[in-house]
Structure 1
């Protein structure tokens, strides 16, 4: 089950569970659509993977399966992933 993290790891923008601006990679690194397009060039800086829109958990299920409240922020800043 997805954690549904509450913020962009790059700019710390709030990304509530119903946000259509949240993008995730296969490891669930979470970034806003603006950072994915403008800063990251569509590539996750943590794993080098692609991003897809984060699914929205139906509101009726959020009570039973709540979104995470743990904020993750890249302390070293964020930029495009380095080539391997």
Structure 2
């Protein structure tokens, strides 16, 4: 089951469970669509994979399967995969 991480790893923007703005890679690295497209060029800086829109968990299931509250932020900054910070 997806963690539904609460923020963009790049700019720390809040990404609530129902937002259509969250993008994830195959490892659930989570970024806002602006960072995923305009900063990272569509490539995850952690694994080199591409992004897809994170699915929205139905509200009726959020109580049973809540979103993660653990914030992840790239300490070294946010740069495209394969490029030095």
Provide TM-score, normalisation by structure 1: 0.97
CA RMSD of aligned residues (A): 0.8
Structure-1 residue corresponding to 2:64: 64
SS in 1 for 2:72: coil
Provide TM-score, normalisation by structure 2: 0.96
Structure 2, unaligned runs of 5 or more: none
Tell me, in whole angstroms, the C-alpha distance in 2 between the residues paired with 1:5 and 1:37.
Answer: 18
State how many pairs are aligned.
83
Deviating 4+ runs (over 3 angstroms): none
Structure 1, unaligned runs of 5 or more: none
